Amino acid sequence: MPRLKHVPLGFDLAEALAGVRIDRAQPIAPQIYRALRQRIVDGRLPAGTPIHENDIAALCLVSRTPLRAAMQQLANEGLVVTRPQVGSAVAGRDRARFLEALFVRTAIESQIARRLAKTGLDEAALAPVLSRQEDAARRDDYATFFDVDEEFHELLATMARVPGAWHLVQSVKAHVDRERYMLMSSIRGRSARAFGDHLAVLAAIRAGDGDAAAGLMTGHIESVLDESFDRAEGPLD
């Protein structure tokens, strides 16, 4: 199990949770889960952050029942750890889960690219996503690029008519996302490199070369291995 780490000096939970908006007309637990997961991924809730349900519930204006359901899902994914006599906290980086998630993502998305080389792309749906990616990459706006990158990969799964495959990827890839976000935020030009990878994958798909498309997608996803282990929080647990 990953070891607990100390919260950085000056951490403010209210600041970390700023911007959480709950739609009372929709199920609350999934909304809380998504908000907390995103903040763990992007570092606003850093490793070691204590999980005090009363504080989080009060700041997010929710009851503890949906919050506990969200926390359980985060715990199942290894993003929150609980220890007797210590309590719950945001987990540190986890090498085993990271490599497992990377394996699942590579296996699924390489096959999505291979399938699209046979079935083709929906260029009209793709164009606005690529435009936003290009703009974010040009400005080196890693936060925006990260969000649009999610749209891009989900759109490919939808065009390949396997949207459920993307949901499966989503269920395991938070540990990969933490590494990706650290790379994009700490390495200048990393967004532009990722955008270039996307263009190469799409070119292979348009050429109908399934092997090349799958190989390029694999290289794109596994590029997080190149620089992830020694950055930001230090070596993985």
Cβ distance 8 to 50 under 8 Å? Answer: no
**Per-chain mean pLDDT for the chain:** 88
Q: Are 13-90 and 95-227 equal in CATH topology? A: no
Say which residue, 221 or 179, is predicted with more confidence: 221
> Using the 8-state DSSP alphabet, how is residue 155 labeled?
H
Cα separation, 233 vs 181, whole angstroms: 12
Rounded CA-CA distance 105/219 in Å is: 12
> Is pLDDT at 82 greater than 90 in this prediction?
no
CATH number given to 13-90? 1.10.10.10
Q: Burial level of 130, CB count in 10 A (0-12/13-18/19+)?
A: middle
Annotated domain spans of the chain: 13-90, 95-227
Residues 38-57: tens digit of each pLDDT: 999 998 999 888 888 899 99
∠ CA(233), CA(43), CA(81), 5° rounding? 80
pLDDT in tens, 99-142: 999 999 999 999 999 999 999 999 999 999 999 999 999 999 98
Position 4 pLDDT exceeds 70: no
Output the pLDDT for position 197: 96
d(CA 125, CA 136): 18
Looking at the predicted structure, is the pLDDT value of residue 1 above 60?
no
Structure confidence at residue 63 as a pLDDT band (50, 70, 90): very high
Q: Which of 63, 68, 88 has its CA nearest to residue 78?
A: 88
Domain spanning 95-227: CATH superfamily: GntR ligand-binding domain-like (1.20.120.530)
Tokens 């490919």 identify what position?
Answer: 156
Residue 153: name the closest of 174, 143, 167, 139 by CA.
167
pLDDT in tens, 156-213: 999 999 999 999 998 888 888 988 888 777 788 889 999 999 999 999 999 999 999 9
pLDDT above 70 for 3: no
**Going by C-beta distance under 8 Å and a sequence separation of 6 or more, which residues neighbour residue 99?**
none
At 184, list the tokens.
């994009």
Total-model pTM: 0.81
* Tens digits of residue pLDDT in 5-39: 455 667 888 899 998 899 989 999 999 999 999 99
| Per-residue pLDDT at 172 | 87
| Residue 229 vs residue 60, higher pLDDT | 60
